Amino acid sequence: MGAKKKRLVRILFGLILLWIIIHLIYVTIDGLSDYKGSADIAVVLGNRVDADSSLSPVLEGRVDKALLLYRQGRVRRIMVSGGKGMKAGKVPEGMAMKRYLIQQGVPADRIIEDNDGENTYLTAVDFKKVNGSLHCPSVIVVSTFYHITRCKYIFRKLGIQHVHSASSDVFYANDLVGLLREFPALYKYMLMY
């Protein structure tokens, strides 16, 4: 490879690296900038439920954030959305989150359970369906900070206009992996949906 081609490859690599860094900084700032106002509903995006049907620490952090919003009177309802899980006999994510919220004193009629939210897109689709009868024009999506930008993107893409966010107050070393994963995930959503 000639010197000119090597230089071009280095420049291209540098530009891609710069793009990734700027993207990760933006996603981090966006994800950590919690909305300070109120909305009609909080939508919690799922994560792993343990074998004993308890919420994983990551999921518990998300649900606790929605619980805080509810207790502060900033949302009237909470939608808990996640998948059914792969293993037979395992409690679906939505059901586990609802049980947790009820144990924390949230009335069952204030919680909408969705067990078909296998991914961010399907959660947004399910919210849009439910929202037809709920008439909740404003929503706060609740997830881990690195997931917030993609959540807001897909909710808005599906026509939900007043989308805000609040992120979990729990952080883990593994969040760096999630943050890096969000780089291709967001662009995948932009291309697919």
Report how far residue 93's alpha carbon sits from residue 115's, in angstroms, rounded to the nearest whole number: 6
pLDDT one digit per residue (tens) for the chain, 193 residues: 788 888 999 999 999 999 999 999 999 999 999 999 999 999 999 999 988 889 999 999 999 999 999 999 999 999 999 998 766 557 899 999 999 999 999 999 999 999 999 999 999 999 999 998 999 999 999 999 999 999 999 999 999 989 999 999 999 999 999 999 999 999 999 999 8
* CATH number of domain containing 34: 3.40.50.620
Number of domains in the chain: 1
Query: What is the domain range of residue 139?
Result: 3-192
Tell me if residue 106 falls in helix, strand or coil.
Answer: coil
Indicate the residue type of 28. Answer: T
